[in-house]
C-alpha cells in the first residue's frame, strides 16, 4: 500500500502481508496480517513510528514508501515494541537515516540491541509520561509493560488525540481499508488476536485500559490491522473481553480415534444445549487454533474430550490443554471426558497440564470402550452440573 495521510501530517506507510498464513510458527493467519508503520511530520521534526517485518517484500515496500513520501531526514524512530515484526527493518532505517535516534523504553533498548545488534548510541530512552516536541506536534509516551512483552509502550499524538498503541487493540488482518469500517469483521479478527496474544496478560491489559482513561482519544492506530476512527468500538470490546465474568458457554475441544469419544461429545453437546448452555466444539484434528483461542475468551467451562493413547491423553488433547493453560482464560470449571481400552492415567496427565487455570474440576466421565447407558447417564449428570454451576455463578 502506498503512503496514505489519515490525519494532518500523519501517514500510514506499513505493509499488508496478504499471503502470510502463520505467525510465530504457531498462530494461524486466515486473513493475513499487516505491519503498520506511521510517519508524523511536525513543523520542525519528522518521526517514524515502528518499522515492519524483515521479509524482503515487506522491507522493500516499506522503505520505498519512505522514498515516495519524500522523507529526507528522520529525527526519531519510535519503537513502541521490540518484537521483530515491527523492528525487523529498524537497522536498515537507521543506516539510511544516520541522524535518527530511537525513542523507546529502557527495556526495549536492551531488547533491540540483543535482537538486531544496534549500536547503543542510537537510542534515547523515554520515561513514562515523557514529552517530545516536533514543533507544532507533541508526542507523549505512555509506558505499558506487558501488552505481551515487558518493554511495550504507547505513543500519543496530543494535537490529534491519536494513540499509537503497538500490538494493543490490533488485529491480524490484511485489508485495503485504512479504517475499521467493517466493524463486524474487525471485531472477530481483533478478538482472535486478543485471545492468542494478550489473554494471558489480562490483568496488565485491564491496567492499560484504566491508564488510557485519562487521555482523550479520537483515533487509535495499532501496529496490526486497520485504524480505529471510532475508538470506543475496540475499547468497549476489550473492556468486555478482559472483565472477570465468563459467559454461559462450554468450550469443548476433542479428538476421537474410533468413534467412542465422538459419541460422548455428541451426547454431552445435546444435553448441554437442552439446558440452554452454548457449546463451542472443536475437532482437534482439523481445528483452527485461533478460533479455539477466541472461544476461550469468555468460556465458563472447558471440557476436553480424548481417548487414551499409550496410557495417556491423545497428543492433540494434550496440546489443547497446554494451549488453554498458556492462554489462561477466565473459565471457572473444567472436566474431561473420553474412552479407554484397558487403563492409563489420562485424567491425571491432562489435569496436570492445566495448573494455570483457576478452575473447579468437575467429575470426569470415562467410558471403557464404547459408551454404554451408565456412561450416558454420567454425561447427563455432568451436563446438569455444568448448567447448575453456570446458573449459580450468574453466567449469561
Q: Which residues bind ligand FEO (CB under 6 A)?
A: 81, 83, 85-86, 148, 167, 223-224
CB of 179 to ligand FEO, least distance (A): 20
Q: Which is nearer to ligand FEO, 65 or 152 (CB)?
A: 152
Q: Which is nearer to ligand FEO, 91 or 198 (CB)?
A: 198
Q: Which is nearer to ligand FEO, 148 or 262 (CB)?
A: 148
CB of 152 to ligand FEO, least distance (A): 8
Q: Which is nearer to ligand FEO, 223 or 256 (CB)?
A: 223
The DSSP symbol for 217 reads -
Q: Which is nearer to ligand FEO, 23 or 333 (CB)?
A: 23
User: Across-strand partners of 221?
Assistant: 164
CB of 91 to ligand FEO, least distance (A): 17
CB of 393 to ligand FEO, least distance (A): 33
Task: Give the DSSP H/E element, type plus range, for residue 176.
Answer: none
CB of 107 to ligand FEO, least distance (A): 14
Q: Which is nearer to ligand FEO, 191 or 224 (CB)?
A: 224
Q: Which is nearer to ligand FEO, 28 or 344 (CB)?
A: 28
With CA atoms as reference, report the closest residue to 209 among 251, 169, 249. 169
The grid cell for 359 is 478452575
Q: Which is nearer to ligand FEO, 29 or 47 (CB)?
A: 29
CB of 119 to ligand FEO, least distance (A): 23
* Helix residue ranges, H only, the chain: 56-68, 84-87, 90-96, 106-116, 183-193, 202-212, 231-242, 260-274, 289-296, 315-327, 346-352, 373-393
CB of 148 to ligand FEO, least distance (A): 6
Q: Which is nearer to ligand FEO, 37 or 249 (CB)?
A: 37
CA distance 335 to 338: 10
Positions of E strands within 72-229: 76-78, 101-104, 123-125, 131-133, 138-143, 153-157, 162-164, 219-221
Task: Provide CB contacts within 8 A for 41, sequence distance 6+.
Answer: 9, 10, 11, 134, 137
Task: Give the DSSP H/E element, type plus range, for residue 201.
Answer: none
Antiparallel, parallel or unpaired: β 101-104 and 76-78? parallel
Task: Provide CB contacts within 8 A for 125, sequence distance 6+.
Answer: 103, 104, 105, 106, 108, 109
CB of 80 to ligand FEO, least distance (A): 10
Q: Which is nearer to ligand FEO, 23 or 254 (CB)?
A: 23
CA distance 342 to 314: 15
CB of 147 to ligand FEO, least distance (A): 7
Question: Which DSSP string corresponds to 304-357?
Answer: EEEEEETTEE-HHHHHHHHHHHHH-----EEEEEEEESS---HHHHHHHT-TT-
CB of 201 to ligand FEO, least distance (A): 11
The grid cell for 128 is 513514562
**Closest chain position to ligand FEO (CB):** 83
**Which value, to the nearest 10 degrees, does the dihedral of the CA atoms of residues 107, 111, 116, 122 take?**
10
**Which value, to the nearest 10 degrees, does the dihedral of the CA atoms of residues 57, 59, 63, 68 take?**
30
Largest CA distance in the chain: 79
Amino acid at each position: 500500500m502506498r503512503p496514505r495521510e489519515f490525519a494532518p501530517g500523519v501517514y500510514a506507510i506499513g505493509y499488508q502481508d496478504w499471503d502470510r498464513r502463520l505467525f510465530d510458527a504457531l498462530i494461524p493467519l486466515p486473513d493475513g496480517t499487516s505491519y503498520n508503520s506511521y510517519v508524523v511530520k511536525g513543523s520542525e521534526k519528522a518521526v517514524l513510528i515502528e518499522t515492519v517485518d524483515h521479509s524482503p517484500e515487506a522491507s522493500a515496500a516499506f522503505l520505498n514508501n519512505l522514498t515516495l513520501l519524500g522523507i529526507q531526514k528522520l529525527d526519531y524512530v519510535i519503537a513502541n515494541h521490540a518484537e521483530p515484526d515491527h523492528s525487523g527493518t529498524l537497522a536498515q532505517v537507521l543506516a539510511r537515516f544516520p541522524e535518527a535516534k530511537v525513542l523507546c523504553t529502557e527495556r526495549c533498548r536492551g531488547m533491540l540491541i540483543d535482537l538486531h545488534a544496534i549500536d547503543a548510541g542510537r537510542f534515547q530512552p523515554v520515561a513514562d509520561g515523557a514529552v517530545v516536541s516536533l514543533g507544532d506536534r507533541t508526542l507523549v509516551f505512555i509506558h505499558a509493560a506487558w501488552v505481551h512483552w515487558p518493554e511495550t509502550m504507547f505513543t500519543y499524538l496530543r494535537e490529534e488525540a491519536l494513540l499509537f498503541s503497538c500490538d494493543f487493540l490490533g488485529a491480524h488482518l490484511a485489508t485495503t481499508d485504512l479504517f475499521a469500517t467493517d466493524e463486524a469483521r474487525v471485531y472477530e479478527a481483533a478478538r482472535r488476536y486478543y485471545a492468542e496474544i494478550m489473554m494471558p496478560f489480562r490483568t496488565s491489559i485491564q491496567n492499560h485500559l484504566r491508564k488510557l482513561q485519562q487521555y482523550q482519544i479520537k483515533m487509535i492506530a495499532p501496529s496490526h490491522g486497520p485504524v480505529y476512527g471510532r475508538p470506543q468500538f475496540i475499547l468497549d470490546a476489550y473492556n468486555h473481553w478482559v472483565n472477570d465474568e465468563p459467559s454461559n458457554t462450554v468450550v469443548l475441544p476433542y479428538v476421537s480415534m474410533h468413534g467412542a469419544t465422538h459419541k460422548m461429545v455428541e451426547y454431552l453437546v445435546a444435553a448441554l444445549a437442552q439446558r440452554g448452555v452454548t457449546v463451542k466444539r472443536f475437532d482437534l484434528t482439523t481445528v483452527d487454533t485461533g478460533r479455539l483461542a477466541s472461544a476461550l475468551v469468555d468460556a465458563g467451562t472447558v471440557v476436553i474430550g480424548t481417548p487414551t493413547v499409550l496410557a495417556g491423553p491423545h497428543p492433540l488433547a494434550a496440546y489443547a490443554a497446554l494451549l488453554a493453560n498458556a492462554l489462561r482464560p477466565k473459565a471457572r470449571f473444567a472436566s474431561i471426558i473420553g474412552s479407554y481400552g484397558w487403563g492409563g492415567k489420562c485424567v491425571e496427565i491432562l489435569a496436570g497440564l492445566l495448573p494455570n487455570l483457576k478452575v473447579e474440576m468437575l467429575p470426569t466421565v470415562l467410558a471403557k470402550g464404547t459408551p454404554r447407558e451408565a456412561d450416558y447417564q454420567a454425561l447427563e449428570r455432568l451436563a446438569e452440573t455444568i448448567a447448575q454451576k453456570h446458573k449459580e455463578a450468574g453466567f449469561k
